[in-house]
Amino acid sequence: MSANIGVSLREHLLKHCDRTELRRIIYHIAETCKYISSILGEYNRKVAQTHNSSGEQQLEVDILSNEILMERLRRDTSFGINEFASEELDKLEIFNTNSGRYSVSCDPVDGSSLADVNLSIGTIVGIYDGPILNDRGGRDNMVAALYVLYGPLTTLMYTTKSGVHEFVLDPTGNYVLATENIRLEEKGSIYSPGGLKKDWTREHRDFIKTLEEQGHKLRYSGGLVADVNQILLKGGGIFTYPALVDKPDGKLRVYFELQQMALLVEQAGGLATNGEDHILNLSPTDIDARSPIYLGSKYEVNLAQQYLEHTVAV
């Protein structure tokens, strides 16, 4: 991991992405997130009278951010985007661009319920070469993943499968490279547990107990982007939102949150599984599919797997 000051996002993309259309899509999304960042303060306490396809209460900022992202991508057909999927939409949108090569799947503002208490939230985006729903699984289907974290700083983390790189939005409104080629340690020192303890399975509870006995510190904000960002920048650890006794698929969505985070973490030398299989091997047919997630350093993810498969040496 190294700091490489002064490099712009446009320059970095030219070096790390040889696909012109893909570079333009990433840059356009990064620019759009600047605008989303500017409206968060105004709309962060306004509750909409609607619910998303998962039945969750929507906030004004969810709807507005989705509209901004979708319409700015739909308008410029030169990007060659065919499908657009969002956690805030009931169904997948087809942009009717016959030459459309790429698809975009996103959570426009993840963690929006934290906005009213000024905790960090983020936009999560995955870019696919072809349709989002197919039998290829995310590792082959996705060509880029990024998130923008709206915190004390606005930062952007991206990969086009040639490493993971962090940019900071500077006071002049430019994304400037802050950290290049982020790598996770084999074993970290923090964990994000996810879900209510009373709803954990025995295997998950035993796993978390072992992490605590080994001295891992609990770090959990309730915002996926901030919690994963901490693991990427603090050298490792594990984020988990497990299968719960009443929700065997957990809470988080495969296509809007988990594939993107899995690609970033794998590119940083980590692992992302549902406790049995790699997240990027999954190819559910339901765009709203959920999955348990164990994501982060290899030691912790593999240890979780041993507990979940009852193979841990006690």
Give the footprint of ligand AFP on this chain (CB under 6 A): 56, 110-114, 194-195, 222-224, 241, 251
d(CA 216, CA 219): 9
Q: Which is nearer to ligand AFP, 100 or 122 (CB)?
A: 122
DSSP SS3 for 310: coil
Nearest to ligand AFP of 137, 222 (CB atom): 222
H helix count then E strand count, the chain: 8, 15
| Smallest distance from ligand AFP to CB 124, Å | 9
Closest separation between CB of residue 122 and ligand AFP, Å? Answer: 8
Q: CA angle 243-275-286, nearest 5°?
A: 65
Q: Which is nearer to ligand AFP, 195 or 270 (CB)?
A: 195
Closer to ligand AFP by Cβ: residue 9 or 106: 106
Q: Is 147 helix (H, G, I), strand (E, B) or coil?
A: strand
CB of 128 to ligand AFP, least distance (A): 21
Minimum CB separation of residue 293 from ligand AFP in Å reads 9
- Least Å from the CB of residue 135 to ligand AFP: 27
CB of 130 to ligand AFP, least distance (A): 27
Confirm if 249 and 289 have CB atoms less than 8 A apart.
Answer: yes
Rounded CA separation 104/86 (Å): 8
Q: With respect to ligand AFP, which residue has the nearer C-beta, 60 or 110?
A: 110
**Is the Cβ–Cβ distance between 87 and 67 less than 8 Å?**
no
Nearest to 249 by CA among 194, 211, 212: 194
Using the minimum distance from each CB to ligand AFP, give the nearer residue, 56 or 203: 56
d(CA 33, CA 39): 10
